[in-house]
Amino acid sequence: MFRAIQSLRRHFAVKIMATAEEAVADIPSGAFIAVGGFGNSGVPENLLAALSNRREVTGLTVASNNCAVDGYGLDKLLIHKQIKKVIASYVGENKNFETQYNTGELELEITPQGTLAEKFRSGGAGIPAFYTPAGYGTVVSEGGFPVLYDRNDPTHAKVAKYSQPKETREFNGVKYVLESAIVSDFSLVKAWKADTMGNLVFRGSGMNFNPMIATCGKVTIAEVEEIVEAGSIPPSQIHTPSVYVHRLIKGASYLKPIERLTLNTGGALKIPGKGDVQAMRERIIRRAALELKDGMFVNLGIGMPTLIPNFVPKTMKLFLQSENGILGMGPYPRPGEEDADLINAGKETVTMLPGASLFSSSDSFAMIRSGHINISILGAMQVAKNGDLANWIVPKVMVKGMGGAMDLVVSPSRCVVTMEHTQKKAHKLLEACTLPLTGKDVVDLLITELGVFDFNREGGITLVELAKGITVEHVKTNTGCSFLVASDLKEMPLA
């Protein structure tokens, strides 16, 4: 098989095509395509628009981190019902994607983001499979996730196909899941610049999945904003060598819409919510900020965790990492300084500090998986008393996807969770999670508006700090599990 794939990849030089339509003209129905991009950043929008215009091409299997927003990128293929299956880590806010999945119009193979990046990288490296800790003990390894709903069932509640269990193995006391590599029929990628040989250079966080996807395609088609003469790009600045690229086009135009334009207007920090809700969230954020120490490499999840840096001392130096390929993120940009090729994992516009670095999603998850990030702070829907975490799906209600969370929580770094203690008076800290898990026994510290729980104390989950004005009995009443109370229980400090 690998010899056949290699023969397909052999070619003497990249073919520069006149149009995107010409470049995708031979993609047939039923093809397996891998598509670069993260959110709306680094999306091969001209190639996808051209493919969407070929309405006769249907039954596609698509592997990509997500499907962008309504009316852009892969969503153009969803609109015309050209996709039968998606392999992705995130559904996000794409309503067509979520609706077609929930009504049984397409299959969804939900995959942890770091696993997906490694699937592409391994496929391009000739490695058929690999072990990863991400997803162990969840539906990823145990199966049972609804891959396809029965479209003939008027309620769309009947499942036509479930995911199957995967092989697991233990190495040095850690449980791992066996995952297979991805080799696509066609890979569609977006780079910033190419030379006439087909060497590619990516820009900003637009790199994301594109370098790995460029390597794993039997036929790789790249679109760029500029084509220069061979030799114009210094060899040391080339990200993807020409050997991986078969076809090349210069995009006719680029929309590059920003999904979440987030600006620094110089005004006071605004915490979501009103009144007591806003005060409650600020209490959680301020306490979480005390977990950060000078010089730390930090990954912050979307939602409340993104606000934490606003409450650390200005003299403290932190290296904020985003799993789409940034280390050294700075504050939100000022109006007019936003860059569609520089977004964080929450699809917000960001800046970079002096000394920042950019890299692929594969390299990003390598540093996460290997423990080079000191601490991860995430939100949660539910936490169990043994440290289980659920934060990525409410079946048939909200299908967002796990993104990079499954990789983050099983890494050797410290896992801190920020969570409102209850939701509409329903318990969120439970004996056992009732929602699909993100990770088993992964939470080190839980911070809510009522107090702080340490999961690493001898004897198990322990209330170690109590919010001002809150009693232990009040915490017990609002908690769905038993817990220990520290003999040295303290008042919860705030940054």
**Catalytic residue list:** 323
As given in the structure block, the two tokens for residue 278 are 């806003």
Strand 184-190 to 32-35 pairing? parallel
Estimate the crossing angle of helix 361-369 against helix 113-125, to 10 degrees.
110
Tell which phi-psi region holds residue 99, choosing left (phi > 0), alpha (psi between -120 and 50) or beta. Answer: alpha
Longest dimension (CA), the chain: 74
Residue in 164, 118, 110, 124 with CA at minimum distance from that of residue 402: 110
User: Taking a C-beta distance cutoff of 8 angstroms, is the pair 425, 396 a contact?
Assistant: no
CA angle 67, 70, 73 (to 5 degrees): 45
- Distance between CA atoms of residues 61 and 33, nearest Å: 6
Distance CA 301, CA 416 (A): 10
Question: CA of 144: how far to CAs of 101, 131, 166, 459, in Å?
Answer: 16, 20, 11, 32
Bridge partners, residue 436, by sequence: none
Structure tokens at 347: 């699809």
How many CA atoms within 13 Å lie on the side-chain side of 414? 16
Q: For residue 1, give every residue at least 6 positions away whose Cβ sits within 8 Å of its Cβ, in sequence order, or none.
A: none
Contacts (Cβ under 8 Å, ≥6 apart) of 7: none
CA angle centred on 279, ends 275 and 282, rounded to 5°: 145
- Terminal CA-CA length for the chain: 58
Look up tokens 């590059």; give the residue. Answer: 256
Q: Show Cβ contacts of residue 396 under 8 Å, excluding neighbours closer than 6 positions.
A: 102, 157
8 A C-beta contact, residue 64 and residue 88: yes
Contacts with 80 (C-beta within 8 Å, 6 or more apart), sequence order: 52, 55
Cα 200–chain centre separation? 24
CA–CA separation, 367 and 373 (whole Å) = 7
